[in-house]
Amino acid sequence: MHSAANHQKDLSSISVIVGMSGGVDSSVAAYLLKQQGYAVAGLFMKNWDEDDGTEYCTAVADLADAQATCDALNIPLHCANFAAEYWDNVFEHFLTEYRRLRTPNPDILCNREIKFRQFVDYAQTLGADFIATGHYVKRIDQPERVIIEKGIDANKDQTYFLQAVPKPQLEKCLFPLGDWLKSDVRKLATDLGLKNHRKKDSTGICFIGERRFADFLRTYITDQPGPITDPEGRILGTHRGLHYYTIGQRQGINIGGKAGRPESPWYVAAKHQRDNRLEVTQDERALHSGWLHAVDVNWLEDIALPLRCQAKVRYRQQDQHCRVERACNNRLLVHFDEPQRAVAEGQYIAFYDNEQLLGGGCIDLCPRPQTTTPFSEPTTYV
């Protein structure tokens, strides 16, 4: 693929294939690149087979929208089926993490394994110099390096989801929407008369669609009901299976008011695999963590540790100041200036230097205040 330095040359000789989802963001991204003079084509990726339940999959409608956009922009549309790769590299991991009672983030894995690996490789076979997506992310080209920064629309910035993508892959991608507000993207799509200008943003996990999450998981993981207890081990009710719950969850616990207890809500505090017990609390302080371990770390810059930076442990969270240092077994130890609420193992932490994305890693251990139950998790890790 061409280097970033080639951007200043005749863009008509540079081939860019845009990942076309059928949504408004990728449609406007393709339009902007064509207006800039690139040789643009689209690629629609099918990442999930509808055999699992056609009524929940929007792939057919999304493909029709992508084709309509490409027709309107007079650019070709290619199609590729990455369902097998998605199953092997994203969905199997998703199920494994839930069986381990963790909370995975398949969107981050999909970016790393599919959109910025399979897509890049496939685009190269088509002769592309770059790929492009509708992510709200800024690419800053500097001599001998590419920097990834937050998009200017704080409500849509998607750098968090790119933290696990290796830097060489990100260098092959253009992000036309980094300097755009979502409202302006929709306005432009409306002015262009694009069919999908009012299409709702996709939410949730693609392979689940509109069905209930619990119904989907039940297809692959057997329910194992067990007791719900307070931190002292007193039984309050019965859970459906520990994999349905995540730390900090308030809705769906279904234990209601209890005699002699405050009227304040209950939250999931811990999942104890040894005795299949869900621990809940009314004390939100029990949900806070001052530090965590991260593994499978991906740096986008040459980093010297220890490091003072900012981090997010979930999408759209405000940046949190922290100190990052090395720990044993290729882990990172992250100390937060302020304790963080409801950090879930299996999720991801992204690191920032103000606007710049530095990288990220998978949250592997998150201690919480000690409880009094026999099988409570330790608050220290050696």
pLDDT (tens digit, 9 = 90+) per residue, 264-303?
A: 899 999 999 999 999 999 999 999 999 999 999 999 999 9
Torsion, Cα 289 290 294 299, to 10 degrees, reads 130
Annotate 21-39 with b (16+ C-beta within 10 A) or e (fewer).
Answer: bbbbbbbbbbbbbbeeebb
Phi, psi of 142 (to 5 degrees): -125, 165
**What confidence tens digit (pLDDT) does each residue in 306-323 have?**
999 999 999 999 999 999
pLDDT tens, 124-157? 999 999 999 999 999 999 998 999 999 999 999 9
CA distance 42 to 277: 49
Neighbours of 12 (CB within 10 A): 10
* 9 confidence band (pLDDT: 50, 70, 90): low
Residue for token digits 């009901």? 225
User: Which amino acid belongs to residue 354?
Assistant: N
pLDDT of residue 107: 93
- Closest CA relative to residue 343, chosen from 103, 95, 96, 100: 103
Confidence of residue 169 (pLDDT cuts 50, 70, 90): very high
Range with the lowest mean pLDDT among 5-14, 112-121, 178-187? Answer: 5-14
For residue 114, give the 3-state DSSP assignment.
Answer: helix
CA separation for the pair 35, 105 (Å, rounded)? 35
Sketch the domain layout of the chain as residue ranges: 4-192, 222-282, 286-365
Q: Which of 206, 309, 322, 362 is catalytic?
A: 206
Please tell me the CATH code under which domain 4-192 is placed: 3.40.50.620
Radius of gyration of the chain (CA): 23
From CA 42, how far away is CA 24, in angstroms rounded?
14
Q: Could you tell me where the DSSP H helices lie in 171-260?
A: 182-192, 213-220
What is the distance in angstroms between the CA of the first residue and the CA of the last residue of the chain? 45
Exactly one of 110, 173, 362, 366 is catalytic; name it.
110
Q: What is the predicted pLDDT for the residue at 180?
A: 98
Coil, helix or strand at residue 379: coil
Fold of 222-282: SH3 type barrels. (2.30.30)
> What would the two tokens of residue 51 be?
């055999």
- The whole-number pLDDT of residue 293 equals 96
Question: How would you class 260 by CB atoms within 10 Å of its CB: exposed for 0-12, middle for 13-18, buried for 19 or more?
Answer: exposed
Structure tokens at 233: 């081990």
Assign 255 a pLDDT band (cuts: 50, 70, 90): confident
Q: Does domain 286-365 bear CATH number 2.60.40.10?
A: no
- C-alpha closest to that of 222 among 206, 240, 238: 240
In this predicted structure, what is the pLDDT of residue 366? 76
CB atoms within 10 A of CB 74: 8
Confidence of residue 56 (pLDDT cuts 50, 70, 90): low
- Residue 287 is classified by DSSP as G
206 included as an active-site residue: yes
